[in-house]
Every structure is written in structure tokens, then in C-alpha cells.
Amino acid sequence: MKTVRIWFKKTGAARFISHLDLNRCMARAVHMAKIPLWYTQGFNPHAFITFALPLSLGMTGERESMDMKIDETKITNEEILFRLNKALPGDLRVFAVTEPKLKPGKIAFASYTLCMEPETGSVCQLRKEWEQFLSQEKIITEKKSKSGMLTIDIKPDIRDMQIREENGKLVSDCILPAGSEYNVNPSLLVEAFRKETDQDFYCEYIRHGLYDASMRNFE
Amino acid sequence: MNPQLEKIWMKVQKPGRYTGGELNSVIKNKEEVDIRFAFCFPDTYEVGMSHLGMKILYGVLNDMEGVWCERVFAPWIDMEEELRSAGIDLYALESGDSLSLFDIIGFTLQYELSYTNVLNMLELAGIPLLCSERKGLEHLVVAGGPCACNPEPLADFVDLFFLGEGEEVDCELIELYREYKKKKGRKEDFLREAAKIPGVYVPSLYHVSYQEDGTIQAIEPEQGVPSKITKRVMMDLDSIYFPDRFVVPYLDIVHNRAVAEVLRGCIRGCRFCQAGFIYRPFREKSVSTIDKQCRDLCENTGYDEISLSSLSTSDHRNLNPLLDQLLTWTKDEKIGVSLPSLRVDNFSTDMMSKIKTVRRSGLTFAPEAGTQRLRNVINKNVTEEQLMKTVETAFRGGWNSVKLYFMIGLPTETMEDIEGIAELGQKVVDAFYTNPDKPKGKGVSVTVSASGFVPKPFTPFQWEPQDTVEMFREKQKHLVNCVKSRKLSCNYHEAVVSFLEGVFARGDRRLGKVLLEAHRLGCRFDGWNDCFSYTKWMQAFENCGVDPAFYANRRRSFDEILPWDHLDYGVTKEFLIRECKKAYANETSPNCAESCSACGAACFKGGICVEDRKNLV
Ligand code: SF4
């Protein structure tokens, strides 16, 4: 028995499926691909797939991962990759199967790209307002938590913000806290901005990678 | 896909209904396609994606060279609003292209209450609703499915209907269409030619006149078109197309599993059941074909459950060998086998053990009527003794929840029959407690569910008046009052919904304007409680000066010309009259496996009609 970490992209139509649906879809694919799962008791394959960190609905995931226990005497990593891709819809693509190095519990940060597309007004204006918004001393937002709504300042959480214009879109790369301990969804930031600006825009989110507390790549 | 769509998806509930991109969905190169066919299911994605007929035809059509068949479902209210406000047409899931870019727009008509969705879907793509307003060959609107056996209420909107099973006739029509498209033919000429294809009904080529009392005077075909249109049937189920893969939804749909079709038609002849007559004759698939199809499906979808589907799966004469055969591989692959419906009379512990691996969602049985007398009237040949024996077996097997389906408003019904429903339910409760092997520490829960009877075309009850809404409500109330135990619960369908279904089931062309008016008033998703508006519908009838009771609550005489009299489903009127008279005399008829009742379906020269009955059940 060994644990493998399966790396995949979640793009296109697959972005719009919930975590629950993704779970079911993966379990079905694992079944169809006849991946020799390591069963301890019963046979509920769902329980044997654990995702590193769920992705919000609508977000593109460039480097998502899930772990499962398999019987390594029966299959190679290459074979897993090949078979899973055959069993998955085109918008879910496995690109690597590796041995897990870090535990999902160690995840502390994630990197994102936010693409804002102005519906009214110019990208230039949007950029000005976005930069102004980000330069405030505090960015107060409301965040859902187990104990109800919390009012928090997320300004100190924003790291490595880099802004550029691309094909009529305002593109911002940044790093935000992520993980089961403390997670800041980039939509918190964007929605807080939306409240302040007069401009109407559509925002697309891409999550690129995950990191531990010392910014080591989650592998 | 239109990038605007993405923004909308973010705003609606369950965007997975609208994105497409599922495993096994078919994407073709538009350059290599000359006929684009939109397969429209006038209900939600979840309902439509559970439908076997759609999966079959999706496969058949996409197997055709140069034809691309895509799926379209009715957008839920929130999505409809978003589409309208963004000015985006209703689109097909595979390409994201507007419905208006399709050559042929095909609807499947599974229930009458989806008719307003048909209109709404056309409107959402800016396609003119009336056939007469669609002058060209493009946007040919076609429809099939069980409701096509009386398609008259939709005659103003649908250019042509397919009667019976679609595997062959759909392809024949597409070939003809291709020819006309290539030579830029006229729609009228095309329709005339199409009407010659067996199983194709072009309503505009038939003229209906009415008498003073509102009944039909005559249905007259134009020169050169057949006076009777006979349905199509596929006689050899082992050689017909069956998909080796299904589109696998991301979302959890109603029936999210592999579905194997084991037989078509039904031997039973329950007098209320339209399906039991319009799908005749009874034909079976062989064990080896079913087994192969199940393997392919599981292989290509990853499903871990197979449902053996048909009108009455346990009537398959090789069901036990089939289950044994399936068990030889499904066990190892951790695949469960389920039967959608169980019959009361052949439910056994042996069978139960074979399908036990499947989730135990509780058992359902359909005695349909509360007393033996009424069960004889409807030819539901199930005795109380059989039912009790069955539930006892089930209780011994560990089940403790049973649901019983009944109908109210059946012909000749009295209040005594209503009381019988509650009494039967109570007997099932009692059977649980007197059972020495009952599951320990568990209580029992028995539900009786009563739906309102809707008389349907091509059944022996096609002449019957339907109970009025008031009568239904009185009977429902009586039923509730008769339920005495807390272990027994009771639910029933909205009487007004059954009434509307009754109107359209036996309606004629004059209902077209009512449908249009109801659509204008905003009716859609009438089959959904949260959308159905009786007030709007009554308004529509009033605005059009049409009396719905004329269609639902009037007794028709045997010699009245019925709106569907020019359509031929094999079963003859003489047979239906015979059956109706037997019903009045509380007499039952044998099922097709016991002996032939000469219903007329033998004209198709196959299935059980031509088999030697000696070795049948
Ligand atoms: S002809 Fe006879 S055997 Fe055939 S369907 Fe009719 S009643 Fe049944």
C-alpha cells in the first residue's frame, strides 16, 4: 500500500461543479479506470480520496491535487495518469502522479491570478481605482466563520501583489493565506473592492499553487 | 462557448446544468456537419438526463455521418431570467450555439404538463412558435415520445410528429431533410414527402372539422397523404442500436446510473395504463445482449449501479438467469444491480438476495386500487393475498418501509373503494407487527400515495369522464379521514394538476390557442409545484373561450370521432371497447403471456404475438 498524490487541472465547464460533485466525479473515474484502491474495510471509494484544499465554484485550478491509497504492486504512476485521463471529462486533466511530500494540513498560502474585465468604463480607470483601494491602510471585510460573521482586516494578508493590463483586462497576481487554519478567498478582496468602486466588472479567478508556511511549494 | 455565458453561470443555482462538457458528450467539427439536430427535453437537466430514450436517440443520431445531435434542456426560472436579461438565446450544451442555428429542433414529449416548456424554449431562442410563421426549411420543429399518440394540442406548433419508436424513422426523416436542404427545397414539399414515411405525422396535412356540439365531425387528409398513420416499432431488440456509453453528468441527476433496457412493451394490459397499450407488442432482449450492453456501459461510464429498465422488468422470462449472469462479474467490480419496479406477484427471497447489494431505498408496490372489485375493473391482477405475502417476505428480509401506490377517480369507483385503500395500508402495517421475524427494534412505516386518475388515449378508458376537481378533493379528504394509524401516512397529488393533465391528454387542436395564451401569461414548468399556477391556466381557458371540462369531464360515446382516431398504434378500437365493457362487468382479461386477447398489435408481426404460448408463464 502507498499513498499517491494526483495532480490535475480544473478548467472550463469543470470549474462550475461543486466540491461534492467533483468528489463523486473523481470517485466514478477511479472506479472506471480500475485503479487498485487499497481497501481497509467495506468498499466506499469516496472515503479514500482526499483533496488537498477545495476550490470555490467558478475558479480555475491549475494545480489541484487529491490523495488516495493504492496497491502499488498492481499499477504504476504513469498508468494511473493515463487511465484516469481516459475516464475523466476533458476539463479535468491529470498531469502528474507523485509521492506526497507535504501533508495537506501544512498548506498555508495559495497563489492566485485575478482577471478583472470592465463592463463599463476603461481598464485604465479600473486599475487606478484598484491600486487606490489596495493602498488603503486597512481593508475591512466580512468573512463567514464557524462562529458567525467576522469583521476582519485583510490588508496585512495580501502578499506579492503585481498588477498589469492584458487584452483589455486588469490582471493581478497575488498570494493569500490558505488552508484549513486561516483561508482568505480572493473573492473577499474583489467583492470588497466592488463595493467601493462605481465600475462594473467581471472577475475570473485562477488558483495556481499551494505553499506551506515558509512558502515552500506544496508537493 | 459564448464568454458571456460564464458570467451568467456564476449567478445561477446549479450552473452544472448549463455548462455541458460532461464525460462522453459528443463534440463534432462543424465543418464536417451538414445537419444540426437539437434534441430538446422540455424539463430540467436532471430530469432529462435521466431519460433513457434521449440517450438512445442521442447515440443513434450522432452515429450518423454529418449529423450532430446536441442536447437542450429547459432552463430553470433563474437561468431563464438571466438569459432574457442578458439577451442570450437558449443554447445547446455541446456547442453553446443558439437553438436558432439548428436545422431540426426535436422535442420529446413525456408528459402533457411540459407543453408550455416547449413553447418557452422556442421563444427563448427567438424561433417563431407557430408552424405557419416558420416559412423556410430551417427550424423544423419535430416531436416524439408517448404524448405524440395524441399530439393534437401541439399541432399548431410542431411541424411533424414521430409515432412510436424513433431509432429508424428519425434517421429516415433526417436523410430526407438533408436532400431538401441540399436542393434548397420548399418546406411544404418537404412535409408532403415526409408524410409518406411510415410513422411520420404531419398535422397540417390533415383537416379537422367540428360539429355544433363541439365534437369532431371529420379528420380529412389532403390528397396523397395516408389516411392513417401507423406507429413504428423495432421488432428485434437484439439487433437494434443501444448506446455503449452515456453522457455522465457532473451533477447528481434523478437516475445517476447505467440503465439497461431489458424489454419493450408490457404483457399486462392494465386498463388505465397508456404505456401498456401504445408500446405493444411485448418484446424481450436476450440475456447475452443485455449482459454485453451492461458491461459496455459500466466500462465506459464508471457507474457502479445498473438499473434494469422497462415497463415491467420482472416480466422478463429470463430475469433470474439474467441476474445470475450479471452477478458473475458485477460482484467483483463492485457494481450493484437494481430493478426499478417490483411486481407484487413474483417477488421472492431469492430475487431479493440478488439485488440486495443495492441501497435499500424502501420498497414500492402499486396495487392501484383499494378493493378487489376495482382491481378487476382496471385489470390489475394483483390479489390482496399476494400483496400480503410479498410484504411479509420483505419484512422478513429486513425492510421496514413500504410505499403503496394507488389511483383515485377510477371508473366505477365508490367511497368503499377509497376506504379500501386505507384498509389495505393498515393491513400492511399489521402484517409487520404480527410477523415473528420482523427486524428487531424497528418500527414500520407504510405510505399510501394516491394520484388522480387521468383517462388517456388508446386505453379502454379513453371515453371515460375524469373526476372533477371537487370529486377528487372529496375523495382525498375521505381517504385522509380513513387513515387511523400513525404508522400509516398518506399523500396525494394536487387535483388541479391531474385535471389539467386530463384536459391535454385527450385534447384537440383547439387547445393550441389556450396553450399559447397560458404561455403568454407566463406558465411554464407546470409539472413543478412551485411553478404551477391554476389561476393562470383558468385565466387562459377563459380568455380563449374554451371550456376545459369539455375535454376532461365529459363522457364520450363509443362512436364519437376522437382527436387521435387517424393515428394507429396497433390496438384496435373494437378491442378497447371490448375491454371497456369487460371493465364495467368487473371482468379481468388474461395477460399476453397467458393468452392472446386479439388487441390488434399482432399486425406488427412479432414479439409475444407470434410466439408459441405453450412454454410461456
Ligand atoms: S395481439 Fe395478443 S399477444 Fe399480441 S399484444 Fe395483443 S393481446 Fe397481446
pLDDT in tens, B551-578: 999 999 999 999 999 999 999 999 999 9
> Which helix (H) or strand (E) is B76 found in, with range?
none
Smallest Cβ–Cβ distance between A90 and the set B6, B21, B304 belongs to B21
**Does A28 contact B21 at a Cβ distance shorter than 8 Å?**
no
Residue B544, pLDDT score: 98
> B103 pLDDT exceeds 50?
yes
Residue A71, pLDDT score: 86
B281 ligand 1 Cβ < 6 A: yes
Cross-strand pairs, A164:
A171
Count other C-beta atoms under 10 Å from residue B328's C-beta.
Answer: 9
Query: Distance from A214 to chain B by nearest Cα, in Å?
Result: 34
How many folded domains does chain B comprise?
2
Q: What is the mean pLDDT of chain A?
A: 90
Taking CA atoms, B453 is separated from B404, B528, B554, B593, in Å, by 15, 18, 14, 27
Q: How far apart are the first and last CA of chain B?
A: 55
Domain that holds residue B397: 258-493+556-604
Q: What is the C-alpha to C-alpha distance for residues B334 and B338, in angstroms, rounded to an integer? A: 13
Decide which of B612 and B446 is more confident.
Answer: B446
Return the CATH number at B385.
3.80.30.20
Confirm or reject CATH 3.40.605.10 for domain A105-211, answering yes or no.
Answer: no
Residue A44, pLDDT score: 56
> B250 contacts in A (CB within 8 Å)?
13-14, 17, 21-22, 25, 89
Query: In which band, very low, low, confident or very high, does the pLDDT at A184 lie, cut at 50, 70 and 90?
Result: very high
Q: Can you give the residue ranges of every domain in chain A?
A: 2-100, 105-211
Ligand 1 centroid from CA B147, angstroms = 22
Taking residues B283-289, what's their average pLDDT? 97
- Yes or no: say if B83 and B61 are a contact pair by the CB < 8 Å rule: no
Residue A5, pLDDT score: 95
Decide which of B398 and B348 is more confident.
Answer: B398
**Does B15 contact A57 at a Cβ distance shorter than 8 Å?**
yes
C-alpha cell at B346: 413474483
Q: Beta strand pairing status for B305-309 and B258-261? A: parallel
Count other C-beta atoms under 10 Å from residue B28's C-beta.
Answer: 16
> B184 pLDDT exceeds 80?
yes
Site to probe by mutation for ligand 1, drawn from B312, B458, B608 as the one with most ligand atoms within 8 Å of Cβ, is B608
- Yes or no: say if B523 and B118 are a contact pair by the CB < 8 Å rule: no
B374 ligand 1 Cβ < 6 A: no
Selecting from 1.20.1250.20, 3.40.50.720, 3.30.565.10, 3.30.70.580, what CATH number does the domain A2-100 have? Answer: 3.30.70.580
Cis bond upstream, residue B151 (ω within 30): no
**Do residues B294 and B222 both lie within one domain?**
no
**Do residues B196 and B306 both lie within one domain?**
no
Same fold, A2-100 and A105-211: yes
Q: What is the C-alpha to C-alpha distance for residues B473 and B496, in angstroms, rounded to an integer? A: 9
Of the candidates A112, A113, A109, which has an alpha carbon nearest to the alpha carbon of residue A210?
Answer: A109
**Does A18 contact B16 at a Cβ distance shorter than 8 Å?**
yes
B571 ligand 1 Cβ < 6 A: no
**Do residues B206 and B310 both lie within one domain?**
no
Query: What burial class does residue B322 get, using C-beta atoms within 10 Å of its C-beta: 0-12 exposed, 13-18 middle, 19+ buried?
Result: buried
Residue B304, pLDDT score: 87
**Does A31 contact B299 at a Cβ distance shorter than 8 Å?**
no
**Do residues B194 and B287 both lie within one domain?**
no
Q: Please give the distance of CA A102 from its chain centroid, rounded to a whole number.
A: 17
Q: What is the C-alpha to C-alpha distance for residues B581 and B579, in angstroms, rounded to an integer? A: 5
Q: Beta strand pairing status for B200-201 and B258-261? A: unpaired
pLDDT in tens, B42-56: 999 999 999 999 999
Taking CA atoms, B280 is separated from B234, B267, B277, in Å, by 11, 8, 6
Taking CA atoms, B540 is separated from B109, B131, B241, B530, B537, in Å, by 22, 21, 43, 19, 5
Of the candidates A18, A31, A14, which has an alpha carbon nearest to the alpha carbon of residue A57?
Answer: A18
**What are the start-end ranges of the H helices in B238-380?**
275-278, 287-301, 319-330, 349-354, 372-377
Percentage of chain B beyond pLDDT 70 is 95
Ligand 1 centroid from CA A126, angstroms = 74
Return the CATH number at B168.
3.40.50.280
Taking residues B172-179, what's their average pLDDT? 98
Q: What is the CA radius of gyration of chain A?
A: 19
Residue B4, pLDDT score: 87
Q: For A113-148, what is the HEC assignment?
A: EEEEEECCCCHHHHHHHHHHHHCCCCCEEEEEECCE
> B334 contacts in A (CB within 8 Å)?
31, 43
B280 ligand 1 Cβ < 6 A: yes
> B345 pLDDT exceeds 80?
no
ipTM above 0.90, yes or no: no
> B350 pLDDT exceeds 90?
no
pLDDT in tens, B246-268: 999 988 777 788 999 999 999 99
Q: What is the mean pLDDT of chain B?
A: 93
Q: What is the C-alpha to C-alpha distance for residues B271 and B464, in angstroms, rounded to an integer? A: 12
Lowest-confidence pick of B187-201, B228-242, B345-359: B345-359
pLDDT in tens, B438-473: 666 778 899 999 999 999 999 999 999 999 999 999
**Do residues B460 and B581 both lie within one domain?**
yes
pLDDT in tens, B418-430: 999 999 999 999 9
At B190, which amino acid appears? F
